[in-house]
């Protein structure tokens, strides 16, 4: 059996490690490049499907995914790194804003929501786009996981106006508000309700500036 010196062993193992690393990293990057177009296409389809759930496809006739404004970091919406607001119009007239909002106070961390709101502050639909709420417990905020198929919890926001309900009552019943929650998982419901309320208030306050901004432009500071 050949005995190698320490230096030779180090160089030998290091070069083998380098070869393996190069081999597998290039395999990964090849796969990445090959899969990119298909993945982007399905992400686009997924976003479109979600938007159709919260905003009826017939309600607007502009290219929704191209008509957006970029937001800088907006604490009011829980957006630490900014986000996008999509604007639905029908023959040029404002129909609704689709606002990304983050509820920082979910039971298992952040809950990302997409909320569609018309200029008067009436909610057209809400969907949780990303969350880690307890399966079987708090995940009823996602209608696909909701046990009550016929009347998903999240649909109670549909058609509700922020102005009519009022900021004081835009809470779950347990906190003296008007919205239902499921027993055993109040925190998830409270987080979604409050975040939806913040999005509605944001839309109500800023809809003029938001609809007027040039498509694709970036709003640094949204002024009151």
Partner 1 sequence: MNMRSFRENAYNGLWKQNPGLVQLLGLCPILAISTNMVNAVSLGLATILVMAVANLAIASLRNFIPYEIRIPVFILVIASLVTIVDLSFNAWLHELYLVLGIFIPLIVTNCIVLARVEAYAAKNDPISSTIDGVMMGLGLVWVLAVLGGVRELIGGGTLFSGIDMIFPSLSPIQVFGDGYHDFLIAILPPGAFFALGCLIALFNWINMRAAARAARRPKPVTAVSDAEAASAG
Summarize as ranges the residues that interact with partner 1 (CB under 8 A).
9, 12-13, 16-17, 20-21, 24-25, 27-28, 31-32, 34-36, 38-39, 42, 134-137, 144-145, 147, 184
Tokens of 134: 């307890």
Cβ neighbours of residue 121 under 8 Å, at least 6 residues apart? 161, 162, 163, 200, 201, 203, 204
Closest to 129 (Cα-Cα) out of 159, 158, 107, 98: 98
CB of 146 to partner 1, least distance (A): 11
d(CA 175, CA 186): 10
CB of 91 to partner 1, least distance (A): 35
- The smaller minimum CB distance to partner 1, of residues 38 and 176, is found at 38
- The smaller minimum CB distance to partner 1, of residues 27 and 65, is found at 27
CB of 114 to partner 1, least distance (A): 18
d(CA 36, CA 41): 9
Measured over the CA atoms of residue 56, residue 58, residue 61 and residue 65, the dihedral's sign is: positive
- Give residue 11's region: left, alpha or beta (phi > 0; psi -120 to 50): alpha
- The smaller minimum CB distance to partner 1, of residues 31 and 163, is found at 31
- The smaller minimum CB distance to partner 1, of residues 39 and 209, is found at 39
CB of 7 to partner 1, least distance (A): 14
CB of 3 to partner 1, least distance (A): 14
Closest to 143 (Cα-Cα) out of 134, 135, 152: 152
CB of 86 to partner 1, least distance (A): 23
- The smaller minimum CB distance to partner 1, of residues 5 and 217, is found at 5
- The smaller minimum CB distance to partner 1, of residues 82 and 152, is found at 152
d(CA 197, CA 95): 19
Within 10 angstroms of residue 208's Cβ, the number of other Cβ atoms is 10
């Amino acid at each position: 059996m050949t005995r190698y010196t320490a230096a030779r062993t180090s160089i030998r193992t290091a070069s083998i490690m380098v070869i393996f690393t190069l081999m597998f990293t290039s395999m990964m990057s090849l796969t990445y490049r090959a899969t990119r177009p298909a993945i982007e296409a399905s992400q686009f389809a997924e976003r479109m499907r979600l938007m159709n759930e919260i905003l009826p496809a017939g309600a607007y006739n502009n290219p929704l995914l191209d008509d957006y404004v970029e937001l800088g970091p907006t604490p009011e919406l829980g957006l630490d790194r900014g986000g996008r607001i999509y604007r639905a119009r029908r023959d040029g007239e404002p129909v609704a804003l689709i606002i990304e909002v983050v509820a920082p106070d979910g039971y298992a961390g952040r809950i990302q929501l997409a909320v569609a709101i018309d200029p008067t502050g009436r909610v057209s639909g809400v969907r949780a786009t990303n969350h880690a709420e307890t399966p079987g417990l708090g995940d009823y905020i996602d209608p696909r996981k909701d046990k009550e198929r016929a009347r998903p919890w999240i649909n109670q926001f549909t058609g509700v106006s922020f102005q009519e309900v009022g900021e004081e009552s835009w809470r779950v019943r347990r906190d003296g508000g008007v919205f239902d929650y499921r027993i055993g998982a109040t925190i998830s419901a409270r987080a979604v309700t409050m975040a939806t309320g913040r999005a509605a208030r944001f839309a109500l306050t800023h809809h003029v500036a938001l609809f007027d901004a040039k498509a694709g432009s970036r709003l640094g500071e949204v002024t009151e």
